[in-house]
Structure 1
Amino acid sequence: MTDRPVPLSRRTLIASAGLIALAACRKGADAQKGTLYAGDQKGGSKVVLGAAGKLKDLPYRIEWSAFPNAAPLLEALNAGAIDTGIGGDAAFIFAIGTGATIKAIGAQKYDGVGPVLVVARDSPIRSIKDIAGKRIATPRGSIAHNFILAALEAQGRPLNAVHFAFLSPQDGQAALQGGSVDGWAIWDPNAALAEKDGARIIRADGLVPSYALLFGRDGAIADKRPLLQDYARRLYAGWDWAVAHPDTYATLLHDETGIPTDVWRTVTGRTKRTGIPIDVTLIADQQKTADRYLRAGLIEKPVDVRKGFDASFTA
């Protein structure tokens, strides 16, 4: 056994069900227009905002809630438990494809390593072309799930040529270590941590563009637009700070998550995450994901992703 940090899990942080109940308590007079309820992931928005000095002199209060990954954060947004949060673009497309009333109001482009396939060091899988017929763990509807589907399409293979085990990040790591799956499709820092522990990562850079999106629930966009606009402006400045100070950022991420600093230096060194506006290129990339999810049977009907974006916050 080891006390090394493990990938963040739904079980170790706030459950969406509890936040849904909390949402009911916040309706009416208690839903203060002077408070922004923000969802976050470990090592996420709060860290970068604090490091860049963007939590100083706030004209409103931020109440933070922590999540293990994008899917439960999006569930809480849709339930009205939080006003805003950030997560992977593919998870967002999956959410709006299943009826969520959420908008993307900002975006971050990943230049470098996006989602990857993690395999055991002695695995016969040597490249992304070797995945057909294999059992792969990944969170359902995530950027890593989209990555594997895109790899199958690029090879001209059917989208059911891989046997998926839809697992949380922590459970996916355990499944790979236990040998019950052949590979684990995931993102950093989980991939970098697995690599440090002896696994191999299989990259296919550029196979799918990688983005994170800043979300706002429809009610907050209507009632708290000035707060969301200010929050988005501060967050974009924080992202700029992180790109300019990768070593300092890595140290702060270690302090926040417990994951070793050298792992975070690997992450910040091989991927730059830059704030970008919501534009036609971004939306076109998201439409490709939505269409792929439809072909894979993840969503039941076509989705016009333009309806899920509000470009006025980054215009």
Structure 2
Amino acid sequence: MRRFTLALVSTIALLGTLTACGGGEKAGSEDGKLRVGYQRFGGQSLVKARDAAPDAAWSLFESGPALTEALKAGAIDIGQTGEAPPIFALAGRTEFKIIATSQPVPKGEAVLVKEDKGFKTFKDLKGKKVALNKGSNVNWLLVKLLEANGMKITDLDVKYLKPAEARPAFDNDQVDAWIIWDPYFSLAERPGVQILADATGLANNREYLLASPEALEKKPDLIREFVRVYRETTDWGIANPEERVKVLAPELGLEEDVARRALERSAQPLAPVDAAIGDELQEIADGFTELQLIPGKVDIRSRIDDRFADLLK
């Protein structure tokens, strides 16, 4: 068991490594290349693994909040996150536009607990230690779980931990539950680990593609080509699930069965952004404001940019 745990922690650490490709440079640099921020999952990883955008300069991030920090610093031009990071980023005065989304992925994030602890419902976690990454998609899932169960955030002992920190804390019973997304979710699944709840009926857990305004001005053709390739590659993966696993597992540093499980529930087609998506994000932002998780109201609707919608329908 100890060897198994150490191996998984090593994989988590690998997934969390930041590759500083182009870090700190401005949108007009990299000899005209598009500087893409990505996480080790989702359609962008497949684009990279297939070398479908050979002229892109790739930077790897552990989570959406880390990626949006790079966007704020001008170190990347474009990148994909979950639903919460753009809201936290906007509250932190990051400039960006949201140019694409995905179909909902509610089963791609979940609350994990140990079976031997005897938890049956989310309410059983009252007074318990719950780990999650602050500002990530799971932050909104926590809000909706509290709402659905008539609880307040003060009913839990919330520990804001990055995935590489949360996994060993969960394994060693330093926390009672872990709210996490794929592929970390899939990595953690093993005998004795129970899915207490996922986002079904609570949160859409979409993927969002963000672009800096400067890159949209200076590199519109590169962004348009990347969105086209992103869409085509995602569609190919959905149509060819076993080949997708073979291509992505090495890129993700995962065993094929782990990658397959995550992809089966979490890989969804891309979709255009529109007013309805803006409304969906605004509801999330207003929820964070109400709970004082962000400092005041933000207008996330104004960040919707549908100029690439024709490539995504």
TM-score with structure 1 setting the length: 0.88
Structure 1 counterpart of 2:289, from 272, 285, 294: 294
How far the C-alpha of 1:46 sits from its partner, in A, is: 4.9
How far the C-alpha of 1:8 sits from its partner, in A, is: 4.6
Report if aligned partners of 2:15, 2:40 keep a CA contact under 8 Å in 1. Answer: no
Structure 1 counterpart of 2:58, from 33, 42, 64: 64
User: 1:39 matched to which residue of 2?
Assistant: 37
How far the C-alpha of 1:116 sits from its partner, in A, is: 0.4
User: 2:218 matched to which residue of 1?
Assistant: 223
User: 1:313 matched to which residue of 2?
Assistant: 308
How do 1:105-254 residues align onto structure 2 when only pairs under 5 Å count?
A: 105-196=99-190, 198-204=192-198, 205-254=200-249
Q: Does 1:13 align with 2:18?
A: yes
Report if aligned partners of 1:36, 1:227 keep a CA contact under 8 Å in 2. Answer: yes
How far the C-alpha of 1:82 sits from its partner, in A, is: 0.6
Deviations 1:213-242 (A, max 9, x none): 111011111111111111111111111112
How far the C-alpha of 1:50 sits from its partner, in A, is: 5.3
Return the letter of the residue paired with 1:193.
L
Partners of 1:93 and 1:157 in 2: CA distance? 23
2:153 alignment partner, SS class: coil
Return the letter of the residue paired with 1:3.
A
User: 1:94 matched to which residue of 2?
Assistant: 88
Moved more, 265-274 or 180-189: 265-274
Report if aligned partners of 1:78, 1:101 keep a CA contact under 8 Å in 2. Answer: yes
Q: Does 1:261 align with 2:256?
A: yes
> Percentage identity across aligned positions?
30
Count how many residue pairs are aligned between Structure 1 and Structure 2: 304
Report if aligned partners of 1:91, 1:141 keep a CA contact under 8 Å in 2. Answer: yes
Instruction: Provide the aligned C-alpha RMSD in A.
Output: 2.3
Return the letter of the residue paired with 2:180.
I
Report if aligned partners of 1:52, 1:237 keep a CA contact under 8 Å in 2. Answer: no
In structure 2, relative to structure 1, the CA distance for the partners of 1:293 and 1:8 (3 Å cut) is: farther
User: 2:298 matched to which residue of 1?
Assistant: 303
User: 1:283 matched to which residue of 2?
Assistant: 278
Partners of 2:145 and 2:275 in 1: CA distance? 24
Report if aligned partners of 1:6, 1:170 keep a CA contact under 8 Å in 2. Answer: no
Report if aligned partners of 2:126, 2:156 keep a CA contact under 8 Å in 1. Answer: yes
In structure 2, relative to structure 1, the CA distance for the partners of 1:52 and 1:280 (3 Å cut) is: farther
Partners of 1:159 and 1:102 in 2: CA distance? 30
Partners of 1:103 and 1:151 in 2: CA distance? 29
Deviations 1:47-94 (A, max 9, x none): 422566733xx6xx3111111111111100111011011111111111
Report if aligned partners of 2:16, 2:61 keep a CA contact under 8 Å in 1. Answer: no
1:12 alignment partner, SS class: coil
Report if aligned partners of 1:73, 1:85 keep a CA contact under 8 Å in 2. Answer: yes
Return the letter of the residue paired with 2:148.
A
Return the letter of the residue paired with 1:297.
Q
Structure 1 counterpart of 2:67, from 61, 65, 73: 73
Partners of 1:188 and 1:94 in 2: CA distance? 21
Runs of 5+ consecutive residues of structure 1 not aligned to the other structure: none
